[in-house]
Amino acid sequence: MILPKALSPIYTNTSLLYYRINSPIGIDVNVKFRQLDCRGAAKKLENETDPEQERIIKTLTRELDSGSTVYIYEDDSGRIAHYSCVGYEKIWKSEMDMYLNLPDGARYIYNCRTLPEYSRRGLFTSAIETIINTHGEAFISCADTNRNSKSVIEKFSPTSLGKIHKRQILGFYKRYTNTTGLEFTVD
């Protein structure tokens, strides 16, 4: 029996691997990342005509409003080609429907995206290197099925701390397994 699309996700599994990055790997960062602030985001949004770039800037503005630090790489035309966010204290993990409660002073790298036309150019690796050089140790996660992100992260930290696994049935019942040693709050 085939279910209507609205009912099709009867049972879902989501797994995230968590890593602690203690130090940079010493690559020569050949691209310049800069921190975006609220004023800079507002100015970019004011002059933007590309709908995809508008969505990116609005997303980054929400991250800035929540207290996160945002790093961007812009191409020669000023288009955002990659962004990464750094959060502190309590971070909402939408794919897991829970908050990650960081230890005091810890940082978490999240919401990283490289536009497809800029992939395979080392932007994600350079972003992590820049963030670790700036902030020191940080946590980071990726879906256990995301081979590209996993391979970049494992250059910095070859062994994961563990995994958070969420099983969801009919969108209501959720069961979590946490092997990371990190604290999470389910809301």
Nearest to 119 by CA among 152, 165, 93, 76: 152
Residue ranges making up the domain that contains 102? 20-162
Stated pTM of the model: 0.85
Report pLDDT digits (tens) over 28-60.
777 788 899 888 888 888 888 889 998 999 999
- Domain membership of residue 68 (yes or no) is yes
* 165 token code pair: 């696994």
The rounded distance, in Å, linking the Cα atoms of 69 and 21 is 17
When divided into structural domains, the chain yields a total of 1
Report pLDDT digits (tens) over 73-112.
999 988 999 999 999 888 888 888 888 888 888 899 999 9
Q: 57: domain CATH number? A: 3.40.630.30
- Domain membership of residue 77 (yes or no) is yes
Rama region for 26: left / alpha / beta (φ>0; ψ in -120 to 50; rest): left
CB contact at 8 A, 138 and 21: yes
Burial grade of 72 (CB within 10 A; 0-12, 13-18, 19 or more): buried
Q: Which residue has the higher pLDDT, 6 or 91?
A: 91
